[in-house]
Structure 1
């Protein structure tokens, strides 16, 4: 474009600048609003944590909190109780299903305590447990021989009066040598050697509260409850000769020695006082 001279020069320049501005793209654009509806976000679901059964009794005397790896058999052994009793006290529909953190009653309810004592404590002869009603000594002395004579086949040791739960007259459960002695951490009993099929005897009168192979590292196992204080366990058997809830006498054959869940033929024998493993050699008679 040819511009005029003089006064019209400024008008020419202004027109040129205007035309140049029209050909240039704007550097700043107006914001664009996205009017599309936002996608709904999924709701956050907070899981409701259900407290373990019996949590209100945690830490109380007579109760036990289940730990990983526990079974009702082990809990019974560690607390000196029958697995069946624990299942009954806690109304367990499936004794094989317990949960970590669950709190179980491991002592009998107060109302049933007398019944529990009567069912597991060995019953002595009537001549032993009878108490004279009258204070007259001659009457009770005269009546004792008459009652005792009615059971001549009972061994004298079985008719001896009991002075408490500790007076059980323990015997060795088998005749072999001691292979491994008691250790509170490594060996909660004694290991006794022998040959496969050798008889295993009840170390005292009692009741079979477990007979089976449900406890890991024990193989074919028998647990006897002798009274409210003592349990004995007989592990690694080849054959079990008794059943649960059966009453046995001291010296009765209850199993045959074997190597189930063990590295050799042996009897692993445990003696538990109030659930705690103690050294059986301190209770068994010297050889």
Structure 2
């Protein structure tokens, strides 16, 4: 039972609270990722417009009702927006083992030219459950983790429990990708990255095995990365 509970934690909480108070290091995208919400909806629900800055102490509503963002602290123009990258080691959480699927899933349409972030084999495939919203890809400690498509870094840090050192890249209004359990992060929030750019170094996963956890979301929903990545 304990193993199942730990497995569930790796993909975020099993419930969504009504509100969330922004902490240092959070971004709109990381909060949306944490609670399984499309970032565009989260912004709309809270009356947040471009460039989508949020500040520590802001109270975001996660219940789907549209309103203006509330703040428990004064956010002046001199305040730095939340989302600074943290380079501390992330908390690691064990995940239940399960074999990678044998059959490759059907491709998914996308205007992006996706590529594999690391060159190893798939250790654990996607199921869409809380425990397996992405895939585990084998690597060697320190191997380069590369951006799967061009985009902008919208989170770089270790604040999302169950992902270790994490990078999230926004590719367009629909697609985001995430790269977890890195040994070292090489990009910061706000940086523009090209496809194949070195963004992190492979680290140890929950089972002390060198690997990358890779996840893609479309419109806030996890999708099987192997439906978008090229066949190999």
Give the TM-score normalised by structure 1. 0.50
Specify which structure has the higher proportion of strand. Answer: 2
Partner of 2:121: 177
Separation in 2, partners of 1:277, 1:227: 15
Partner of 1:89: 48
Once the 2 structures are TM-superposed, how far is the Cα of residue 93 of structure 1 from its aligned partner? 3.9
Q: Which moved more, 1:235-244 or 1:261-270?
A: 261-270
Once the 2 structures are TM-superposed, how far is the Cα of residue 75 of structure 1 from its aligned partner? 3.3
Separation in 2, partners of 1:205, 1:102: 29
Partner of 1:281: 226
Partner of 2:37: 79
Find the structure with the greater CA-based Rg. 1
Partner of 1:263: 208
Separation in 2, partners of 1:171, 1:70: 36
Partner of 2:167: 222
Separation in 1, partners of 2:205, 2:122: 18
Separation in 1, partners of 2:65, 2:168: 20
Task: Answer whether contact 1:188 1:270 (CA < 8 A) is retained.
Answer: yes
Partner of 1:168: 112
The secondary structure found in structure 1 opposite 2:155 is strand
Once the 2 structures are TM-superposed, how far is the Cα of residue 80 of structure 1 from its aligned partner? 3.9
Separation in 1, partners of 2:21, 2:161: 10
Structure 1, gaps ≥5 residues long: 1-64, 107-164
Separation in 1, partners of 2:20, 2:120: 33
Larger RCO (alpha carbons 8 Å, 6+ apart): 2
- Count of residue correspondences: 165
Partner of 2:181: 236
Partner of 1:189: 134
Separation in 1, partners of 2:137, 2:206: 15
Separation in 2, partners of 1:249, 1:219: 23
